[in-house]
């Protein structure tokens, strides 16, 4: 049953921390994580934030997975954003000073796509949260109850197994 652990973890993450605000914030953070290219300190920091605060982790991971594909499609657009920010004459001294800091090069902010994706994601964070919250408010009052009715979820949570043993 070792192979079922990730699936069990995912369903457990979906049904815990499931207030509309927690689900919406998890989704919004997942979108930001999905947009940012992986393999840099920005993406790692965002994953730590998602894991450390009280949000719906399952929704965040699902959104990160889905929007990773969208991030690739948006690369030309985010490249233009990052390029505009990195080549603005007034900001060049700031970028130079930031790059000279010990940990800053690991963020790869000097990559136009990384910087543009991060800025786009952060700009979309609040609007996505504000759009997602009423959606989750409407559709998740009985979210965990509906999920618990599926035999697969019952099996993964062990309720069916424990009821057979009794």
What is d(CA 85, CA 89) in angstroms, rounded to the nearest whole number? 9
> Does residue 159 surpass a pLDDT of 50?
no
49 close to 42: Cβ distance less than 8 angstroms: no
Question: How confident is the model at residue 79, as a pLDDT?
Answer: 96
- The answer to whether residue 12 sits within a structural domain is no
Q: Report which DSSP code applies to 101.
A: S
Instruction: Indicate the pTM of the whole model.
Output: 0.79
What is d(CA 56, CA 52) in angstroms, rounded to the nearest whole number? 11
Higher pLDDT, 6 or 63: 63
> Which structural domain, as residue segments, surrounds residue 36?
19-139
36 close to 75: Cβ distance less than 8 angstroms: no
Show the tokens assigned to 6: 């990730």
What is d(CA 54, CA 93) in angstroms, rounded to the nearest whole number? 37
Question: How confident is the model at residue 18, as a pLDDT?
Answer: 75
108 close to 40: Cβ distance less than 8 angstroms: yes
Q: Mean pLDDT throughout 59-87? A: 93
> Does residue 3 surpass a pLDDT of 80?
no
What phi, psi does 151 have (nearest 5°)?
-60, -40
Max mean pLDDT range (1-15, 61-75, 112-126): 112-126
- The answer to whether residue 36 sits within a structural domain is yes
- The answer to whether residue 102 sits within a structural domain is yes
The mean pLDDT of the chain is 83
- The answer to whether residue 154 sits within a structural domain is no
6 close to 43: Cβ distance less than 8 angstroms: no
- The answer to whether residue 124 sits within a structural domain is yes
Question: How confident is the model at residue 83, as a pLDDT?
Answer: 96
């Amino acid at each position: 049953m070792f192979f079922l652990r990730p699936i069990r973890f995912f369903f457990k993450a979906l049904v815990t921390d499931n207030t509309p605000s927690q689900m919406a914030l998890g989704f919004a953070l997942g979108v930001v994580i999905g947009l940012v290219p992986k393999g840099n300190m920005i993406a790692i920091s965002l994953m730590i934030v998602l894991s450390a605060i009280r949000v719906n982790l399952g929704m965040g991971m699902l959104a990160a997975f889905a929007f990773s594909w969208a991030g690739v499609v948006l690369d030309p657009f985010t490249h233009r954003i990052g390029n505009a920010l990195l080549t603005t004459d007034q900001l060049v001294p700031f970028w130079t000073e930031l790059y000279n800091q010990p940990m800053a090069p690991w963020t790869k902010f000097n990559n136009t796509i990384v910087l543009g994706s991060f800025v786009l994601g952060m700009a979309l964070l609040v609007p996505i949260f504000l759009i997602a919250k009423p959606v989750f408010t409407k559709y998740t009052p009985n979210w965990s109850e509906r999920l618990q009715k599926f035999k697969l979820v019952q099996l993964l949570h062990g309720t069916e197994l424990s009821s057979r043993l009794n």
